[in-house]
Amino acid sequence: MSLDPFKVFMDLQLGLPRNGPGSDASTARAYDLAPRPEGKDGVEVLVLGCGAGAEVMTLLDFPETRVTAVDMMKPFIQELEQRADAKGNVAGRLRTVCEDFEHLSVPKGVFDLIWCEAAIYALGFGEALTLWQPFLKPGGAIVVSEAVWLTQTPSLNAVDFWDRMYPEMKTIGETTALAEQVGFVVESVFTLTKEEWWQEYYTPLRIRIQKRLADLLGQGIEALAVIRDLEEEMELYETCGDEYGYAFFILTPSKGKA
């Protein structure tokens, strides 16, 4: 009997420090750069595609935040809740919602910040900004990390991989132009370093794969296909990691919007 590829994927991802490239430092840097309301009311943050919530934990380190965290995978939400319990200083500042961020049930017009790290690709950058903008309060901002080309002349290997995985991937300039086209101003942009891909994501993922490999070898072709895809992604980053990366975009609606 072969294993469900989804179960294999979740088993590899659960318990990792993060579920995508990033770091506490880059989350905190983006938070510092984002416009936020002053005063006693605090900062209402909607985190979309939170996974097991690495960025949620960092955002909760700022005592003024209240976070609504959304992911469609129940096991990730459960792990986030365990992390928050273990953290201990969250008391009443975290709400979790297990749902599709294309069909949000949370109220519109109440969030100071909408936050999405390494997940906006699932909807598409322009589509997501348009869909999520009504959930912002006036004066609010959207903060996203998005995969980008860092060169105009990528190698064939990189083009071949990303044409299959995320053909919509653009340069920072093209992504900025798309944000403007759908009614946003790009207030700040910065890129993740290579260490921020390896330290908390790829290196722990590789160790996890090595630990599970013996078990998975006997579990059928689907289980191995999950590992092959992840290994292909990491090997490409080893050889072509200068050609693409992740960039944080801090975005506010253009005048006249929200």
* Binding region for ligand SAM (CB under 6 A): 18-20, 22, 49-51, 54-55, 70-73, 76, 100-102, 117-119, 122
Question: Which amino acid is present at 140?
Answer: G
Provide the Cα torsion 242, 243, 246, 250; round to 10°.
Answer: 110
Residue nearest to ligand SAM (CB): 51
With respect to ligand SAM, which residue has the nearer C-beta, 86 or 221? 86
Q: How many other C-beta atoms lie within 10 A of the C-beta of residue 202?
A: 20
Residue 72 backbone phi and psi in degrees, to 5 = -90, -5
Under 8 Å between Cβ of 140 and 114? yes
Output 71 or 243, the one with its CB closest to ligand SAM. 71
Beta carbon of residue 121, minimum distance to ligand SAM (angstroms, whole number): 8
Give the whole-angstrom CA distance, residue 28 versus residue 149.
Answer: 24
- Angle (CA) 118 121 123, round 5°: 125
Nearer to ligand SAM, 90 or 104 (CB): 104
Contact criterion met (CB below 8 Å) for 99 and 78: no
User: In the bound complex, what is the minimum distance in angstroms from residue 237's beta carbon to ligand SAM?
Assistant: 14
CB of residue 214 to ligand SAM, shortest distance in Å: 26
Closer residue to ligand SAM, CB minimum distance, 50 or 158: 50
Tell me how far, at minimum, the Cβ of 191 lies from ligand SAM, in Å.
15
CB of 117 to ligand SAM, least distance (A): 4
Our CB check for ligand SAM shows the closer of 55 and 146 to be: 55
Least gap, CB of 100 to ligand SAM (angstroms): 4
- 3-state DSSP call for residue 50? coil
Helices (H) and strands (E) in the chain, counts: 10, 8
Q: Which residues contact 232 (CB under 8 A, 6 or more apart)?
A: 161
Query: Between 204 and 220, whose beta carbon lies closer to ligand SAM?
Result: 204
Helix, strand, or coil (residue 244): strand
